[in-house]
Amino acid sequence: MEKPKIIVGLGSCGIAAGASKTYDKLKAYQQEHAVDFELARTSCIGMCYKEPLVEIQDASGSIIYGDMTEDKVLDVVLDHLTKGIRNAEMAVKAEDMPTHEDSFFDGQVKIALRNCGYMDPESIDEAIQHEAYKAISGILKEKRPQLDIIQTMIDSGLRGRGGGGFPTGLKWKFANQNASDEKYIICNADEGDPGAFMDRSLLEGDPHAVLEGMMIGGYAIGATAGVIYCRAEYPLAIKRLNIAIGQAKEKGFLGENILGSGFNFDIYVKEGAGAFVCGEETALIASIEGKRGMPRKRPPFPAASGLWEKPTNINNVETFGNVPWIINHGAAAYAAYGTEKSKGTKVFALTGKIKHGGLVEVPMGITINDIIFKLGGGIQGDKKFKAVQLGGPSGGCIPAELGHTPVDYDSVNATGAIMGSGGMVVMDESTCMIDLAKFFLHFTQEESCGKCTFCRVGTKRMLEILERITEGKGEEEDIPKLEELAYQIKNNSLCGLGQTAPNPVLTTLKYFRHEYEAHIIDKKCPAKVCKPLLTYTIDPEKCTGCTVCGKKCPTNAIDGARKEAHTINQNICIQCGECFNVCKFEAVMVD
């Protein structure tokens, strides 16, 4: 290597953690001291919990350091470059030595995320070095038949990674069979699940893989244009997509007569306004056409009549990201991972009460426990694992006792949850499951387009019941009411939003009914989250009479002289919890 190379992770997660300041610090030092190293950028390698990340490549190999904030980075980098001292405590990944973070990478198999964090996402030359456009170039050079490409997808077992899990090759086959003068490929990048950022990270880290996947899909179905529908809340992803599209056009990979093959294909980005319902195919199509994003009845399906009433194929970002790898390595290589009915790998966003929050890509069939405890490092504060929410607002809660469940479509569906697009929200013993169900139902109720009465009104009625329960006003009849409403909404809503909106309530009722009963019958919140159900008292043995709690109480509910044990007047206490928060002697008790 001619000179050392320093690479800063500049994905959204890194930037949020201060990576831009870290980059600027290195840039300023390089200019002021004429230091002979190359400074570059990349995106996220998935280790969001250790951002900002800085990689140093030199003659000794590659090493990645974590927590490289602007106040630390120069010391670590200069020790490494000038003294040969490698900071083992801050190292998170190295070629020639173990690190204390190796468990995060053990068990991962990166196919969709193969290049994320390992190249500059704004450089097409680096992307080409990582096999970008190799697959489509080979297809066009060999003039491979469309049905041959489709069969490769079918044989690979790739299923849609957006949540539905429909076989990708079969979906392409339907669009291929519908004759038309124009056809379209749409990439659904309208990622809206709380706690989900799989698509964003892939678009920010390897936009060319998604473009190439769309091109291959377009070639297979006979399309000439592609649209990436991306939510406007992803400005960095949109920026890098547009840079990648411009570079691909300059290199001749997009546009007219691509690589002299006679194949014409172009792509543009459509920014969505953030409506969750536009993740549904027909609502997404309506939005692209300039209409209000509302679902319509099917049939006809988009494969027959989609965008501008032309045959249209829609897949999500992760699905397209897998396609070039499958073409380059073969269907059998992809199908070698996973289970019989769920082939390949899946990307998950780990969030919530987990130590290693970030992005992982694992073979289908790995258990929930392995993801949480081996890759995710376990629960924050070593608290008790309680449940995991899979599939976002459309999914459900899987309890800790089912942590042995393999993560594949059929096994997850059997629990009452769904795989979804890959959001995995981890909960510990301090999570109230009714409060959690209320959060997700509030989300879907607000995001309902209002077209269906059952979805528009039914979710509102369910939310009102949950709110009453968490306020201590619940009645025993509320549980059967919730179940009845849930099944009415599921069975009578037009699109997937309404059909799955009750899932968080149904799964929490299935696995945590005792918490509902405690709220309703005992007027207690076992997790001590729902404030109207809490009682605050002061332990006279621990209270020192410091008076801090009394000064902070907004209703003057705390009585007691200085240096004497205090008491709380329950008649005027509003359960705000301020006394608990400010007490340094653990004298305030919550029940």
pLDDT the model gives residue 1: 56
Measured CA to CA, the distance from residue 424 to residue 194 in angstroms comes to 10
Q: Is residue 424 within 8 Å of 375, Cβ to Cβ?
A: no
470 three-class SS: helix
pLDDT the model gives residue 36: 82
Class of residue 34 by CB neighbours under 10 A (exposed 0-12, middle 13-18, buried 19+): exposed
Beta bridge partners of 362: 346
- Cβ neighbours, 10 Å, residue 365: 17
- From first to last of its 591 residues, the chain has per-residue pLDDT tens of 578 999 999 999 999 999 999 999 999 999 888 778 999 999 999 999 999 999 999 988 999 999 999 999 999 999 999 888 999 999 999 998 999 999 999 999 999 999 999 999 999 999 999 999 999 999 999 999 999 999 999 999 999 998 889 999 999 999 999 999 999 999 999 998 888 999 999 999 999 999 999 999 999 999 999 999 999 999 999 999 999 999 999 999 999 999 999 999 999 999 998 888 998 999 999 999 999 999 998 899 999 999 999 999 999 999 999 999 999 999 999 999 999 999 999 999 999 999 999 999 999 999 999 999 999 999 999 999 999 999 888 889 999 999 999 999 999 999 999 888 888 999 999 999 999 999 999 999 998 888 989 999 999 999 999 999 999 999 999 999 999 999 999 999 988 889 999 999 999 999 999 999 999 999 999 999 999 999 999 999 999 999 999 999 999 999 999 999 999 999 999 999 999 999 999 999 998
Token pair of 146, please?
């469309």
Token pair of 307, please?
């965008």
Measured CA to CA, the distance from residue 65 to residue 105 in angstroms comes to 15
Q: Please give the C-alpha separations between residue 441 and each of 164, 295, 313, 486, in angstroms, as whole numbers.
A: 20, 19, 30, 11
463 three-class SS: helix
Determine the distance from the C-alpha atom of residue 13 to the mean position of all C-alpha atoms in its chain, rounded to a whole number. 12
Q: Whole-prediction pTM value?
A: 0.93
Measured CA to CA, the distance from residue 529 to residue 335 in angstroms comes to 45
Sequence length of the chain is 591
Q: Is residue 227 within 8 Å of 186, Cβ to Cβ?
A: yes
Q: Which of these, 541, 540, 525, 542, lies nearest to 577 by C-alpha position?
A: 525
- Cβ neighbours, 10 Å, residue 582: 15
- Cβ neighbours, 10 Å, residue 375: 23
State the Cα angle at 423 between 422 and 424, rounded to 5°: 110
Please identify which residue in the block is written with the tokens 């305030």: 588
Long-range contacts, 55-59 (Cβ 8 Å, 24+): 55/6, 55/7, 55/9, 56/4, 56/5, 56/6, 56/7, 56/80, 56/81, 57/1, 57/4, 57/5, 57/6, 57/7, 58/1, 58/4, 58/5, 59/1
Measured CA to CA, the distance from residue 132 to residue 325 in angstroms comes to 9
pLDDT the model gives residue 96: 87
Determine the distance from the C-alpha atom of residue 286 to the mean position of all C-alpha atoms in its chain, rounded to a whole number. 25
Domains parsed from the chain with CATH numbers: 5-101 (3.40.30.10), 124-335 (3.40.50.11540), 345-428 (3.10.20.600), 433-522 (1.20.1440.230), 535-590 (3.30.70.20)
pLDDT the model gives residue 392: 85
- Cβ neighbours, 10 Å, residue 415: 19
State the Cα angle at 75 between 73 and 80, rounded to 5°: 95
